Amino acid sequence: MESSERPDPATIQPCQETMAAVAGNVYIETYGCQMNVADSELVAGILTASGYRLVNTPEEADVILVNTCAVRQHAENRVLGRVAQLGGLRRHRPHLRLGILGCMAQHQGRTLQQQAPGVSLVAGPDAYRQLPRLLAGSQDEFNLDVRLDRTECYTDLAPVREGRTNAWIPIIRGCDRFCTFCVVPFVRGRERSLPPGDILRQVEDLVAAGFREVTLLGQTVNAYRHGDTGFAALLRQVAAVDGILRIRFVSPYPAGFDAETIAVMASTPKICRALHLPVQSGSDTQLQRMRRGYTVDQYRHLVQQLRQALPDLTLTTDLITGFCGETEADFQQTLALMEEIRFDAAFMFKYSAREGTLAYRRLPDDVPEPVKTARLERMIEQQERMSLAINRKLIGQTVEVLVEGRSKRSDATEPRYYGRTEGGKVVVFGQPAPVNSLIRIALTDATAHTLFGEPLTG
């Protein structure tokens, strides 16, 4: 999957509105990519509109929904463990309903009745409109809806947003690429783009609600096309909305990244100089087996064009090691490409065979698990070293940061605050500043993942 995975579950903040009649308390826990975060916000909108109230902890809930990822077996195992744990809450709340949403729901479908015995609701990514109906069904029945819908874009529904600074806006759902390792096209269906008018209306509403940054989302976000409007034209239109300070998009697909998009990025300061451009491997043989549709040279050339037009670009990527047939020489080529491109950061994973994919059916999963693990460790070690070196070079520079709030890791006696640079790097600082303000920070320290500094006054 093209968008970066979030390792920790995110929960949606409760709606502050007082409901006239509460149908029940709902707790939503989200795993996987940003698209799942956006979908959980959508589910929160659908359920609050139906009279449910969002709560912050599973202990307060009458309904617990776990929004899931199916990209790796590990992610699915983790959800099964978590759902079993949450089922224990029934000791004190026997009426508690447990549901599984998202890609794993779509992927596993009815088999979840056996795999997750306490679960009475399973809904795939195109079935969220049906949630109030499914929840109205009997707790003793297994309520399942995993139909894929080629037209569902949820355009008319209002999400309840999690953050206050950045808002996720899905602009294209599904994927037509069918990379051989990936289950996403099977669980999220074919590509369909939202009308530009609906996207622009969302951006205007978000500005009115105080948001200053939007991230346009799609499995292959640059494949966006609706009528005559392509991705570059949409970027231009979003940037023309007054009041928006920063625009990001996740994740572009390397093979479809056109010169027009590069030109719009270079000429539009509101579009952040940050790209997450998944490469997956540095070996042409592996890229071919993955059916990625580009060669290492083509990827390299694209990065050159991007860096020529956007010299201060922050570049991140996704990498898989241990994919079918990967030799030590293939792996060395990936390490060499990482060293050559010098990504600011990378999401790195070992290959996990997924039922239903072309690789699962046709390519032997023949790299032994200990080899996969050892290669992943080497890859991570190399990336950490490079990320640290890149970040340490920034010490002494001044960066502009959009303030997001108080750092969750700081304690009450010594509060710390954080925001993000245009490149998406987290900066932690010691003095309070208003949320959503742009401040300048002199950088004093850095780790591989975080920058530290002090705000400049005046």
Under the binding rule (CB under 6 A), the answer on residue 162 touching ligand SF4 is no
Which position among 82, 177, 372, 425 is part of the footprint of ligand SF4 (CB under 6 A)? 177
Under the binding rule (CB under 6 A), the answer on residue 1 touching ligand SF4 is yes
DSSP assignment letter at 422: T
Q: How far is the CB of 354 from ligand SF4 (least distance, A)?
A: 10
Q: Which stretch binds ligand SF4 (CB under 6 A): 57-65, 89-97, 174-182, 417-425?
A: 174-182
Q: How far is the CB of 254 from ligand SF4 (least distance, A)?
A: 10
| Number of residues in contact with ligand SF4 under rule CB under 6 A | 12
The per-residue DSSP string of 89-107 comes to GGGT-TT-EEEEEEHHHHH
Q: How far is the CB of 309 from ligand SF4 (least distance, A)?
A: 24
Under the binding rule (CB under 6 A), the answer on residue 178 touching ligand SF4 is yes
Under the binding rule (CB under 6 A), the answer on residue 182 touching ligand SF4 is yes
Q: 182-186 long-range CB contacts below 8 Å, 24 or more apart?
A: 182/1, 182/71, 182/354, 182/357, 183/70, 183/71, 183/103, 183/107, 183/354, 183/355, 183/356, 183/357, 184/1, 184/71, 184/103, 184/219, 186/106, 186/107, 186/356, 186/357
Q: How far is the CB of 71 from ligand SF4 (least distance, A)?
A: 8
Which position among 108, 219, 261, 352 is part of the footprint of ligand SF4 (CB under 6 A)? 219
| Residue whose token pair is 């993000």 | 420
SS (H, E, C) 48-70: HHCCEEECCCHHHCCEEEEEECC
Q: How far is the CB of 78 from ligand SF4 (least distance, A)?
A: 20
Distances (CA, A) of 334 to 170, 199, 288, 319, 383: 31, 37, 14, 9, 11
Which position among 99, 185, 218, 282 is part of the footprint of ligand SF4 (CB under 6 A)? 185
Which position among 2, 29, 145, 422 is part of the footprint of ligand SF4 (CB under 6 A)? 2
Is 103 or 116 the residue whose CB approaches ligand SF4 more closely? 103
Q: How far is the CB of 319 from ligand SF4 (least distance, A)?
A: 12
Q: How far is the CB of 147 from ligand SF4 (least distance, A)?
A: 20
For residue 19, the SS3 value is coil
Q: Which residues contact 269 (CB under 8 A, 6 or more apart)?
A: none
Rounded distance, CA 207 to CA 39, Å?
Answer: 20
**What backbone phi and psi angles, to 5 degrees, belong to 254?**
-55, -40
Is 191 or 344 the residue whose CB approaches ligand SF4 more closely? 191
Each residue 228-267 as x (binds ligand SF4 by CB under 6 A) or -, in order, gives -------------------------x--------------
Q: Which stretch binds ligand SF4 (CB under 6 A): 179-187, 358-366, 389-397, 424-432?
A: 179-187
Under the binding rule (CB under 6 A), the answer on residue 142 touching ligand SF4 is no
Is 2 or 162 the residue whose CB approaches ligand SF4 more closely? 2
Is the distance from CB of 41 to CB of 73 less than 8 angstroms? no
Beta strands in 235-344 (DSSP E): 246-250, 274-276, 314-321
Q: How far is the CB of 125 from ligand SF4 (least distance, A)?
A: 13
Strand pairing of 345-350 and 398-406?
Answer: unpaired
- Which sign, positive or negative, has the C-alpha torsion 80, 84, 86, 87? positive
Q: How far is the CB of 223 from ligand SF4 (least distance, A)?
A: 9
Which position among 66, 83, 184, 399 is part of the footprint of ligand SF4 (CB under 6 A)? 184
Residues in the chain, overall count: 458
- Interface residues toward ligand SF4, by CB under 6 A: 1-2, 175, 177-179, 182, 184-185, 219-220, 253
